[in-house]
Amino acid sequence: MATPVITLANGIEIPQVGLGIFLMTNENETAWAIQHALKVGYRHFDTAAVYGNEAVLGRALKEAGIAREDLFLTSKVWNDKQGYETTKQAFNESLEKLQTDYLDLYLIHWHGPNVKETWCAIEELYAEGKVKAIGVSNFSINHLEAMKAYATVMPMINQVETHPYFPQDELRDYLKKEKIHHESWGPLSQGKTDLLLHPILAEIGKKYGKTAAQVVLRWHVDRGSIVIPKSVNPNRIHENFALFDFALTEDDMKAIAKLNIETRYGRDPENTGFEW
């Protein structure tokens, strides 16, 4: 089973569905989940320095023996490493832990006071060929508009919380206009809601012999988003990838659109509460 790819603004292709490894802290469980995902067909893996599992991912991928060029690896610079020199240091630490000499995508994890210096460092890493694509995570329209004053290369991706209860329609329209691709984290609302018990999703799933989670992930795919569901459960890892033997109709998409309650469950990018 293979996943479709999305072509970024610079021509780099990213698999549309990947495995997010946020909150995977048990080393054995994490390694097993990665190995199982590889067998299922995943080639896109999304981690971050703050997750504390880059080294586990690096070891699991090495042990699997899959050619590096067949993998797509994303990591992110955390808040305490933002700044020009510290970003480059953080990037090199990520490379070492991941046992690779380049990343496919490197993101600023959250907007912060040193964003200009951080982005300058990331642009240089990109120009040097150490990372194939660059982007941001949890950036608002205001943040992205402000980047135009200092960025020589605009982000190719913005990774943000997105799910049917919070579809980010205004931001999506902006990203499309600016040729920045939308990547969804928390695509199933992080298990913090009753989303997957919603009768509308159950009804749609019944038509296709799919779970509510598969319906939601297919909704992301049909919107053209990149999506990184997280799971260590083998059945769910498989189900989260089994999305390409059905497609939602226009009526399905309209029904899911009615679930929007404009409610986020993560931090607000405009008011993160972080102490920088």
The runs of H, that is alpha helices, within the chain are: 27-40, 54-64, 84-98, 115-127, 141-147, 169-178, 199-208, 212-222, 234-239, 250-257
Choose, from 42, 51, 106, 126, the residue flagged as catalytic.
51
What does the alpha-carbon distance between residue 105 and residue 122 come to, in Å, rounded to a whole number?
A: 10
Please name the residue that has the structure tokens 């509308």: 200
Burial class (CB in 10 A: 0-12, 13-18, 19+), 242: middle
Q: Closest Cα partner for 22 from 265, 230, 274, 241?
A: 230
Contact 217, 20 (CB under 8 A): no
Contact 48, 109 (CB under 8 A): yes
What does the alpha-carbon distance between residue 86 and residue 108 come to, in Å, rounded to a whole number?
A: 12
Specify whether 126 is catalytic: no
Please give the C-alpha separations between residue 122 and each of 93, 133, 265, in angstroms, as whole numbers. 14, 10, 29
Q: Closest Cα partner for 183 from 213, 219, 158, 155?
A: 158
Contact 134, 153 (CB under 8 A): yes
Nearest-Å Rg of the Cα atoms of the chain is 18
HSE-up of residue 130 (Cα within 13 Å, Cβ side): 17
Q: Which phi and psi (to 5°) does residue 201 adopt?
A: -70, -40
What residues are annotated to the active site?
A: 51
